[in-house]
């Protein structure tokens, strides 16, 4: 007898195996065994079942784990599944999926380990598609289309890695950057003093980064201790986040990322006396900077006037220190204006950033 209840004699004579509608429906409603080949099946050489199967997961039951080799995909028929990532003891939910959603297909497409875990949030019924069924379908797809699918899959997985990493590592720096972006887009003033409604901030973070309010409030408290933000109430009595210094908020994000890489912000390590001289360079530049084809510059004469005005100690070694750190560049005197002495070229944005770092570095390094 062959599968489906047909005898060889029936195939030869053309007779059909007659099944009533009722019996047929009964048979089709029975879920066949899971199609994934077992270790024993592979040993004996028996062919695994090339059929879909239905499985029901109880609330809290895990469908698959991050990092494991995926041999099946799931189509959710009913219920809800949480997709999440873990880093140490920290578990971060990425998304919740319901009926009609397909999960686990990436591992079948590229044979890579699963990039996240899945857990049933309620009783969940799924259709299991194992790799044998999947591959048998893919074999019917034109070769060029299979190549396109592989490329798209690779790009999606790379994107998921970056996004997943950002979500899991959503710390102070991530919140600082997010607030900076919100302030840039929705702030009513350049300084951000109008404030961002805190309920709006919670909603945007939950929607885009999947972070709960409790976690966000903890991080907001740390940013407050660093004096990067202020929590106040507006005229309507609504709690708002005020950002007095948006540039410092974004600089903190940069500082945190460089720290992870073992690197420092530009200008770190410059002596305090050299930084005071750099303040004079900036002040002299704001008062009397000249422009050339190489950029902005000031005359030594103007720099010394500012040094005297601000009562800053001048020593050639501090100027040399700034040169060695490539903050200022010494140029030859202008033949047409030789009385003004040498010229010093610099970039306003670079000098301003270094001085901003100097003013905020201690707050960035606070252990909160």
The CATH number that applies at residue 177 is 1.10.10.10
pLDDT number for residue 175: 87
Q: Could you say which of 260, 288, 313 is where a domain stops?
A: 260
pLDDT number for residue 88: 64
Same domain, residue pair 61 and 151: yes
239/198 Cα distance (integer angstroms): 6
28 assigned to some structural domain: no
CA atoms within 13 A on the CB side of 29: 6
Side-by-side strand order, sheet with 239-242: 196-197, 239-242, 230-233
- The domain that contains 127 carries what CATH number? 2.60.120.10
229/129 Cα distance (integer angstroms): 50
Side-by-side strand order, sheet with 72-78: 53-57, 124-130, 72-78, 102-103
Residues of the chain with pLDDT under 70: 1-52, 87-90, 92, 153-170, 187-194, 207-210
Same domain, residue pair 318 and 238: no
pLDDT number for residue 81: 92
Same domain, residue pair 126 and 64: yes
pLDDT number for residue 40: 41
pLDDT number for residue 87: 65
305/195 Cα distance (integer angstroms): 41
99 assigned to some structural domain: yes
Same domain, residue pair 134 and 196: no
Instruction: Note down the domain range covering 287.
Output: 272-364
Strands (E) across 280-366 are located at 290-292, 295-299, 328-331, 343-346
Same domain, residue pair 53 and 161: yes
pLDDT number for residue 199: 85
181/241 Cα distance (integer angstroms): 13
Structure tokens at 263: 């690197």
């Amino acid at each position: 007898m062959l599968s489906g209840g047909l005898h060889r004699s029936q195939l030869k004579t053309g007779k059909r195996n007659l099944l009533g509608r009722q019996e047929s429906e009964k048979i089709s409603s029975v879920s066949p065994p899971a199609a994934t080949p077992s270790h024993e099946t592979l040993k004996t050489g028996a062919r695994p079942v090339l059929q879909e199967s239905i499985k029901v997961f109880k609330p809290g039951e895990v469908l698959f784990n991050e990092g494991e080799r995926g041999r099946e995909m799931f189509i959710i028929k009913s219920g809800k599944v949480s997709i999440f990532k873990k880093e140490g003891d920290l578990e971060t939910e990425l998304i919740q999926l319901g009926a009609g959603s397909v999960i686990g297909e990436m591992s079948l497409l590229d044979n890579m380990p699963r990039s996240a875990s899945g857990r049933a949030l309620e009783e969940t019924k799924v259709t299991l598609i194992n790799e044998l069924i999947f591959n048998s379908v893919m074999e019917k797809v034109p070769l060029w289309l299979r190549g396109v699918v592989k490329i798209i899959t690779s790009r999606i997985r790379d994107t998921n890695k970056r996004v997943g990493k950002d979500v899991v590592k959503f710390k102070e720096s991530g919140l600082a950057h997010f607030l900076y972006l919100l302030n840039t887009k929705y702030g009513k003033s350049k300084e951000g003093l109008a404030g961002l409604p805190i309920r709006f901030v919670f909603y945007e973070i939950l929607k885009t980064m999947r972070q709960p309010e409790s976690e966000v409030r903890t991080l907001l408290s740390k940013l407050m201790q660093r004096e990067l933000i202020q929590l106040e109430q507006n005229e309507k009595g609504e709690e708002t986040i005020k950002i007095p210094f948006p540039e410092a908020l974004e600089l903190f994000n940069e500082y945190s990322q460089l720290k992870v890489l073992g690197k420092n912000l530009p200008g770190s390590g410059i002596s305090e006396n050299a930084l005071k001289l750099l303040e004079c360079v900036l002040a002299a530049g704001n008062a009397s900077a000249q422009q050339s084809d190489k950029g902005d510059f000031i005359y030594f004469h103007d720099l010394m006037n500012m040094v005297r005005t601000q009562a800053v100690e001048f020593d050639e070694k501090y100027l040399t220190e700034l040169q060695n750190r490539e903050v200022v560049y010494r140029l030859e005197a202008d033949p047409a204006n030789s009385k003004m002495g040498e010229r010093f070229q610099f970039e306003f944005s670079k000098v301003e950033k270094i001085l901003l770092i100097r003013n905020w570095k201690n707050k960035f390094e606070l252990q909160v």
